[in-house]
């Protein structure tokens, strides 16, 4: 079995499992947050939104290229609940975001500050609504994440909203959402 990074698949699988357990609340209820404000979408606003509100914001986003280099990531865990901010900050200890390669066709996730889990980045139709999205597909590049596919749209200047799907179910199941912020 080919490892996806120098530390081996076991550690990555364990980290992925822990992150999945923490965020198994994409569909969880709880206190509903505020929707987007008149001043625009912010990361803090996304953390306060319910899963339905996050989907609505995603539907309004646009498929534009993510600037090359590091983009800071925030897993949107237990969205719309009181624990969303704490869980998302805790998850940042494990997952810090992605690195977009200069050619714009590859992105690599950063776990524990280390580049791991490479995916192919291209534009394609969203599984949510069929509209154009940036797709980060791991099927050909990672044994650990082969079951996952990310979709990403820009929702505010420098702020991207992503949906992670589990492709092993029929139809594919939305497993979590995340935000990416361009780092200057």
Are the CB atoms for 54 and 177 separated by under 8 Å? yes
Q: Which residue has the higher pLDDT, 160 or 20?
A: 160
Q: How confident is the model at residue 117 (pLDDT cuts 50, 70, 90)?
A: very high
Q: How confident is the model at residue 13 (pLDDT cuts 50, 70, 90)?
A: very low
Tens of pLDDT, residues 35-92: 343 348 999 999 999 999 999 999 999 999 999 999 999 999 999 899 999 999 999 9
In the chain, domain spans: 9-182
């Amino acid at each position: 079995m080919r490892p996806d990074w120098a530390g081996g698949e076991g550690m990555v699988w364990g980290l992925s499992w822990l992150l999945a357990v923490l965020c198994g609340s994409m569909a969880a209820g709880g206190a509903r947050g505020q929707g987007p404000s008149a001043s625009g979408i912010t990361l803090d606003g996304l953390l306060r939104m319910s899963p339905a509100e996050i989907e609505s914001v995603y539907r309004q986003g646009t498929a534009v290229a993510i600037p090359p280099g590091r983009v800071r990531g925030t897993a949107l865990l237990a969205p719309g609940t009181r624990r969303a901010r704490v869980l998302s900050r805790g998850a940042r200890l494990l997952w810090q975001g992605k690195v977009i390669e200069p050619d714009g066709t590859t992105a690599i996730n950063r776990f524990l500050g280390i580049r791991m889990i490479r995916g192919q980045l291209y534009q394609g139709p969203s599984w949510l609504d069929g509209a154009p999205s940036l797709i980060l597909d791991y099927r050909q590049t990672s044994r650990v994440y082969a079951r996952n596919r990310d979709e990403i749209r820009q929702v505010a200047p420098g702020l991207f909203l992503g949906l992670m799907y589990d492709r092993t179910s029929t139809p594919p199941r939305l497993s979590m959402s995340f935000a990416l912020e361009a780092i200057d």
